[in-house]
Amino acid sequence: MQCPLSGISGCLMAPQTLFSVIAAIGLAFGIFSTFWPARSIRLYQWIMERFNWKVTPIDEARELRNTKILGIALIPLSVAIFVAVFLRR
């Protein structure tokens, strides 16, 4: 399928562009959650408050540890998406 805007300046919604943006956002959240897990949790709580949901951790230490572990796991997944996108070009 060819992008209807490809004649203008390339398609902004091309799969490579979309996956690159997703990978960049994932990498940013991974780094953020790895190095600042408490701020990451507060960001999530702030977002949920906008939907009128109150979210509080039951076990703060466990929540911080799990957030850091998931942030560490998100970094290689995001890098793998970048690699997959650029190898397919």
Per-domain boundaries in the chain: 18-87
| Spatial separation of the C-alpha atoms in residues 58 and 43, rounded to whole Å | 17
pLDDT digits (tens, 9 = 90+) for 63-78: 999 999 999 999 999 9
| Spatial separation of the C-alpha atoms in residues 68 and 38, rounded to whole Å | 9
Q: What is the pTM of this model?
A: 0.75
pLDDT digits (tens, 9 = 90+) for 29-47: 999 999 999 999 999 999 9
| Spatial separation of the C-alpha atoms in residues 67 and 31, rounded to whole Å | 11
Closest CA to 32 of 72, 80, 66, 78: 72
> Which residue has tokens 């799990």?
66
